[in-house]
Every structure is written in C-alpha cells, then in structure tokens.
C-alpha cells in the first residue's frame, strides 16, 4: 500500500520531486519575506523614535502611518 503511494505507477519520482521543490521554495520564500519584514519594521521603529512629539502627532494623523502604527501596537501585545 505505502509503496504504491510512493511509486505512483512510475510517476512517483516526478510527483515527489515536484512536490519537494515546491515545498522548499515556499519555505525559502517565507523566510526571505519574514526577514525583510523584520528588518523594515526595525528601520521604521528607529526612524519613528527619532521624531519630535509634534512630528509624531502629525504622522499619527496620516492613514499610512496609522495603519503601520496599529500593526506595531498589536504585535507588541
């Protein structure tokens, strides 16, 4: 039974290699995107912390910054 699933009537090597390649590609892509996200998040936090109080209040009023700040606040919980 298990051997039939692995061999798939002669197509097993193609199917399992394609499946493995896809799975490995997705894992690598996820790792790269997560690494870039963390790096950009740190850059944003560093840049935002350097702003004055008035600049922070002005930034909080902008839709883009509001969305980013809400994501950062929710990730700290």
Q: Is the pLDDT of residue 1 over 60?
A: yes
**Phi-psi category of 51—alpha, beta or left, where left has phi over 0 and alpha has psi -120 to 50?**
beta
Going by pLDDT thresholds of 50, 70 and 90, the confidence category of residue 28 is very high
Ranges of each domain in the chain: 30-77
Over range 40-48, report the average pLDDT. Answer: 87
Over range 43-65, report the average pLDDT. Answer: 81
C-alpha triplet 52, 58, 62: angle, nearest 5°: 135
Residue 38, token pair as written in the block: 């963390």
Over range 10-33, report the average pLDDT. Answer: 94
Over range 27-31, report the average pLDDT. Answer: 98
Predicted local confidence at residue 8, as pLDDT: 86
Q: Is the pLDDT of residue 34 over 60?
A: yes
The residue to which tokens 């910054």 are assigned: 65
Task: Round to whole Å and give the CA distance between 60 and 4.
Answer: 60
């Amino acid at each position: 039974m298990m051997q039939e699933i692995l061999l798939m009537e002669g197509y097993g090597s193609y199917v399992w290699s394609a499946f493995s390649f896809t799975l490995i590609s997705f894992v690598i892509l996820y790792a790269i995107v997560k690494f870039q996200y963390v790096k950009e998040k740190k850059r944003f936090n560093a840049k935002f912390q350097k702003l004055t109080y008035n600049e922070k209040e002005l930034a909080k009023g902008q839709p883009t910054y509001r969305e980013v700040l809400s994501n950062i606040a929710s990730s700290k919980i």
